[in-house]
């Protein structure tokens, strides 16, 4: 899968500091499907709470729900990271700053040439 075909973009600021965003319709569709997988777990937990309330099985259900949420989160994050184009924010900022400086330098040189040519004409 080429970098441009990847459905997600991950902006990495550090080892555990990152943001993942969907890219295009493909990314939004995959994110929507992943969120839809959470619905059965939530429906089950709602029925469990109404059925057992404060009964002896209530805490076991809460534990299962938390483990299900944790598994859903870990699987989703690892899958999205594996299918994301990774952009290092520090490298990206450095490259943008380098481009800006180069553009400013070219503009400054262009203005200086124009001033020299104008001075030569006078």
The answer on pLDDT for 114 being more than 80 is yes
Question: What are the CA-CA distances from residue 80 to residues 2, 9, 74 (Å)?
Answer: 15, 9, 10
Give strand ranges (E) for the chain.
Answer: 8-12, 18-22, 84-88
Is residue 121 a part of any domain in this protein? no
Domain range spanning residue 50?
3-90
Is residue 111 a part of any domain in this protein? no
Is residue 22 a part of any domain in this protein? yes
Q: In this predicted structure, what is the pLDDT of residue 107?
A: 92
Whether residue 111 contacts residue 35, with contact meaning beta carbons closer than 8 Å, is answered with no
Is residue 97 a part of any domain in this protein? no
Is residue 52 a part of any domain in this protein? yes
Q: What is the pLDDT of residues 42-94, one digit of tens each?
A: 999 999 988 888 778 888 999 999 999 999 999 999 999 999 998 888 887 88
Give the rounded percent of residues in the chain with a pLDDT score beyond 70. Answer: 97
Into how many domains does the chain fold?
1
Is residue 82 a part of any domain in this protein? yes
Is residue 96 a part of any domain in this protein? no
Is residue 85 a part of any domain in this protein? yes
């Amino acid at each position: 899968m080429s970098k441009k075909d990847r459905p997600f973009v991950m902006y990495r600021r550090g080892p555990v500091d990152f943001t993942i965003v969907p890219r295009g319709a493909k990314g939004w569709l995959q994110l929507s499907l992943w969120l839809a997988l959470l619905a059965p777990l939530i429906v089950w937990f709602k029925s469990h709470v109404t059925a057992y309330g404060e009964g002896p099985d209530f805490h076991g259900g809460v534990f299962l729900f938390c483990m299900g949420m944790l598994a859903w989160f870990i699987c989703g994050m690892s899958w999205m990271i594996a299918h994301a184009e990774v952009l290092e924010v520090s490298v990206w900022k450095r490259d943008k700053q380098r481009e800006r400086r180069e553009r400013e330098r070219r503009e400054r040189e262009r203005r200086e040439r124009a001033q020299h040519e104008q001075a030569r004409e006078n």
